Structures are given as structure tokens and as C-alpha cells.
Amino acid sequence: MTPVAKGALFVFTAACLSYIFLKLPAAQGFANPDLARLVTMHLPCAYVALVAAVIAAWHGIAYLRKRDLASDIKSYIGAKIAFLYCFLTTITGSMFAKVQWGSFWNWDPRQTAVAVLLLVYAAYFTLRASIEDPERRAALSAVYVLFASILTPMLGYVIPTFFIDQSLHPKFAKFDVSYRMAIYPMAIALIWHLVWMFRLSVRAEKVNQAIAELDLSSEGGMA
Amino acid sequence: MNLLPMLIVALMILGGLFAFTLMTERRVATAEKRLAELENDK
């Protein structure tokens, strides 16, 4: 990303934060109306986790179609970012739960489902770490990441919303305009940041692989 | 207004993301330089 784009992202994120802290009215109807504004961080993190899961699945499918290891790297990075944002969603959600429901963890269906999702992604990283052959690792990972990516909206939204009746989370949260004006721009800022992080991580992974290959070949040459 | 805890959380998350990405950028630049050196040596 160019320095101008980075600067623009920084200014845009700072503007989003300024709006949240200086303009956004307290959320009425919550136990702590001031701190309930945390939802403006919590929801964008969940949206970005979903976007990252779609990116991981997209590149997983691309690998299965073309057998290009570059797609495997992109799919892996997408899954890593999805895991990161699922984790951030859980952290901000736990803080919101403490403010609103009195405890960091309530075994609410949606909280539990996202915890399961974190374990699903953890299993993906374990799977990758356990296979040495790059082609086999890429093929199995691509299939698994499709499964994980389908589970992301299912566990994060569909199952807790449509299949479980008792939940502390509202089934269909409705926000007024002032909150939508905070949530959507923050989601855009985080997705913008995701693009930056994604490209950079793909570059890092490729360079590390190239260095490892060169190191291996030079070791082989010396032997 | 009791906004300090939320401000800390927001700054930790966003600051952490920016700091991590900027650090990764520096690390990648160093690794690319090393890769170029290794290729020259070869």
C-alpha cells in the first residue's frame, strides 16, 4: 500500500473513532449506555471475520481448480485474518457482555458458537502444521478451509439467530442512523486495513518460502 | 461520561492492528533485502 493510502486509512480510522467518542449519543436501553458504544467495535470485527473467511474460501477454491500454491498461501493468510478477527469479536463481545449482562462469559449460544469457530480455525492451523508435503497440505487445507468458511456465518449468525430461541443477543438487532453511521464506516476502515494486512502477509509468506528454499539449496550444495 | 474504558479498548485494538502491520511491513522489507543478497551470492 502506498504511503498516501496508509495515511488516508489512518485519517479515516481516526475520524471514525472521533465520531464514536465525540458525536455518537449514548445507547439508550442498555445497562451502561456509555459503554454500550462498544458495539461499534464489536460488530465491525465480526463483519471483517466474515469477509476474511470468504477470501480464504475463494482462494481455497482457486487452489482446488488450478493447483497453484500461491492460492494456497492466500487462502492460509485469509484464514489467519479470519481467526484474528473472530478472536477480536470474542474479546470485544466479552467486554460488552460484562457491561450489559454482568459477566464476561455467559455461555450464550452465539458466544459459544464463536468459541467453537475459534477451535475450528485452530484445527485448520494444526492440520497445516502436521503435513509436510506442500501439495498434499494445500489440497487438504483448501477443502478444510471451505468447511471453516461455511461454518463462519452459520455459527456466527444463522444457527444462533434462526435455530436457537433463547439467547442474550437480540435476534435481529436494529440500530438507529447515528449507530449505523459509526458501525459501517468502522467496518470499511477495518476491511481497508484487512486488504493492507492481507497483501503484506502474502508477500511475507512468499519471501520466507523463497529464503527457506535458497537456504535449503545452499545447505544441500555445501553437503 | 464514563468512556475511558472503551477508549482504551478501541485504541488497543486499532493501535495494535496498525502497529502489527507496520512492523510486518518493516520485517518484509528486511526479508526481501536478505533474499536479494542471497540471490546475488548464489
Q: Please give the ipTM for the structure prediction.
A: 0.87
Tens of pLDDT along A151-204?
998 888 888 888 777 777 777 777 788 888 999 999 999 999 999 999 999 999
| pLDDT classification of A101: cutoffs 50, 70, 90 | confident
Q: What is the residue-wise DSSP string for B1-42?
A: ---HHHHHHHHHHHHHHHHHHHHHHHHHHHHHHHHHHHHHH-
Of A35, A45, A200, the CB nearest to B25: A200
Residue A128: Cβ within 10 Å count: 17
CB contact under 8 A, B38 and A13: no
Partners of residue B32 in chain A, C-beta under 8 Å: 203, 207
Partners of residue B6 in chain A, C-beta under 8 Å: 21, 34-35, 37-38, 41
Tens of pLDDT along B1-42?
577 888 888 899 999 999 999 999 999 999 999 888 888 887
Distance, in Å, from the CA atom of A157 to the CA atom of A46, rounded to the nearest integer, reads: 10
Find the residue in A nearest to B13 (Cα): A88
**In what helix (H) or strand (E) does residue A38 lie, and over which residues does it extend?**
none
**Mean per-residue pLDDT for A21-41?**
83
Contact A56, A75 (CB under 8 A): yes
